[in-house]
Amino acid sequence: MSSHPGKTLETFPNPKPGRDYHIHMEIPEFTCLCPKTGQPDFATLILDYIADEKCVELKSLKLYVWSFRNEGHFHEDVTNRILDDLVAATQPRFMRLTAKFYVRGGIFTNVVAEHRKPGWQPPPLVDLARFETQSNTRG
């Protein structure tokens, strides 16, 4: 059975919608074309999000990312477009997309775009390293 690129992002119900938990994905094979030269641009996409009611399904994400392979996009445009499409599909509490483009002409480009659901605040960070340091200094 062959797979074909597509713009459809499928979702599934969040198995723990009452809990804020971090979903982290790294997509090291993103490609699109430079809209000026037509040459390929390569990037690693890093997706971090806190789901609300829906999570993105991985196979559809893979096919969605693949769909940009023959399209011309500026780095800033494609990063924001992908974030917008993922937000529209999943309606997360928080989502950050980092696009780390490989060197072109001696320049690395990183584009970071974020979405935060209105009213959502992250819980306070628990710094376990601080507790480990304190326990190691006690007699």
> Which residues are marked as active site?
34, 41
Cα separation of 106 and 31, whole Å? 18
Cα 82 from chain centroid (whole Å): 8
Residue 108 CB contacts under 8 Å (≥ 6 apart), including other chains: 100, 101, 102
Cα separation of 99 and 76, whole Å? 9
Residue 121 CB contacts under 8 Å (≥ 6 apart), including other chains: none
Place of tokens 């993105």: 56
Residue type, 35: P
